[in-house]
Amino acid sequence: MRRDRNTDRISGVAVALFAVSLVAGSLLTAATDSRAPLLAGSIIGAYLLLSIKVADQWEKVAVLRLGRYIGLRGPGIFHIVPIVDRLSRFVDQRVRLASVTAESTLTRDTVPVNVDAIVFWLVWNAEKSILEVEDFVQAITMSAQTGLRESIGRHELAQMITERESLGRELQRILDEKTNPWGITVQSVEIRDVRIPQALEDAMSRQAQAERERQARNILGQAETEISDKFSQAAMTYQNNPVALHLRAMNMLYEAIKERGSMVIVPSSAVETMGLGGSLATAALAKEPAAQG
């Protein structure tokens, strides 16, 4: 098991006890004019300095006695036997994160991408994380990076861009299955960014623009087709019903002259064709009695 610098950390309580023992030995030496109390106080203080340990609320640590695991300690203050007992690294059981990157990894459709992800994980069994794997922090990071590359290879570029959540869930499941025997669980994986080469990005932009233009032309052509069909139906109606055509012509003429101050010149042939002469004369005669009254 690789030793960590946290395994040999000195607690403030141990330092205080060492100072108290040293001061007490010095005072007894001064009072009795003997060096024995000072020597005894130094020995006791050194023992307390090395044997008293403190783990924070979120920490656990394993105690190895002559290389044999005897149990976990913490949180709080605990005692070990110096030289005989040895501590593992202190295990932080809070939620932690690991940032992983996969550079120039090929997708399923052979597109090189750079992907950044964040892995949220925690130690749920400190004993397993200490005894089952040498360095679980590095193991999590390397496993996440390898799993990210494998997951990228199984997805196409479009899926990675539009389905980041499903990609993160898949990676979380793969990592959780691997790390559970170590006493570690992966809570979630978030894909932060998916980057592609600039040349490919420009090509995709041109392709998207061409696709939008094609759709716009198709919509315009469809609209023209529908309009021409309506005109064809109207022509058939007017052909079979001349009265409807005359009414439509009269309506168009009315729309043209209803605005105040407007003037429309209508050829006489049009008036005769639509039979507007009789209609206009009838309208004029109807208005004249009203004006006289």
Residue 292 belongs to some domain of the structure: no
**Best CA proximity match to 175, nearest among 220, 141, 129:** 141
Residue ranges making up the domain that contains 263: 241-277
Q: Are 22 and 77 in a shared domain?
A: yes
**Best CA proximity match to 194, nearest among 225, 165, 147, 161:** 161
Q: Are 202 and 185 in a shared domain?
A: no
What pLDDT is attached to residue 145?
Answer: 87
**Best CA proximity match to 157, nearest among 83, 106, 82, 197:** 106
Residue 31 belongs to some domain of the structure: yes
Q: Are 219 and 260 in a shared domain?
A: no
Residues 275 and 249: their CA atoms lie apart, in Å, by 10
Q: Are 62 and 120 in a shared domain?
A: no
What pLDDT is attached to residue 264?
Answer: 60
* Mean pLDDT of the chain, nearest integer: 80
Tell me how far CA of residue 231 lies from CA of 246, 266, 270, 274, in angstroms. 17, 24, 22, 20
Supply the CATH number for residue 101's domain: 3.30.479.30
pLDDT in tens, 200-247: 666 666 777 778 888 888 888 888 888 887 878 777 777 777 766 667
Residue 289 belongs to some domain of the structure: no
Q: Are 72 and 114 in a shared domain?
A: no
Q: Are 106 and 168 in a shared domain?
A: yes
Residues 184 and 177: their CA atoms lie apart, in Å, by 10
Please, what is the end-to-end C-alpha distance for the chain in angstroms?
Answer: 118
Q: Are 102 and 134 in a shared domain?
A: yes
**Cis? peptide before 75, omega within 30° of 0:** yes
What pLDDT is attached to residue 280?
Answer: 46
User: How many domains does the chain contain in total?
Assistant: 4
Q: Are 101 and 191 in a shared domain?
A: yes
Residue 290 belongs to some domain of the structure: no
What pLDDT is attached to residue 36?
Answer: 87
pLDDT in tens, 113-170: 888 899 999 999 999 999 888 888 888 888 888 888 888 888 888 888 788 888 888 8
> For residue 234, what are the contacts with CB-CB under 8 A and spacing of at least 6?
none
Residue 283 belongs to some domain of the structure: no
pLDDT in tens, 261-291: 556 666 655 555 555 544 444 444 444 554 4
Residue 286 belongs to some domain of the structure: no
pTM, to two decimals:
0.62
Residue 291 belongs to some domain of the structure: no
Residue 151 belongs to some domain of the structure: yes
Q: Are 168 and 215 in a shared domain?
A: no
Residue after which a domain boundary falls, among 29, 56, 91: 91
Averaged pLDDT, 74-99: 90
Does 4 have pLDDT greater than 80?
Answer: no
Tokens of residue 155, six digits = 């997805």
Residues 56 and 41: their CA atoms lie apart, in Å, by 28
Q: Are 158 and 208 in a shared domain?
A: no
pLDDT in tens, 25-41: 888 888 888 888 888 88
Q: Are 26 and 87 in a shared domain?
A: yes
Tell me how far CA of residue 252 lies from CA of 227, 245, 280, in angstroms. 19, 11, 15
Q: Are 139 and 187 in a shared domain?
A: yes
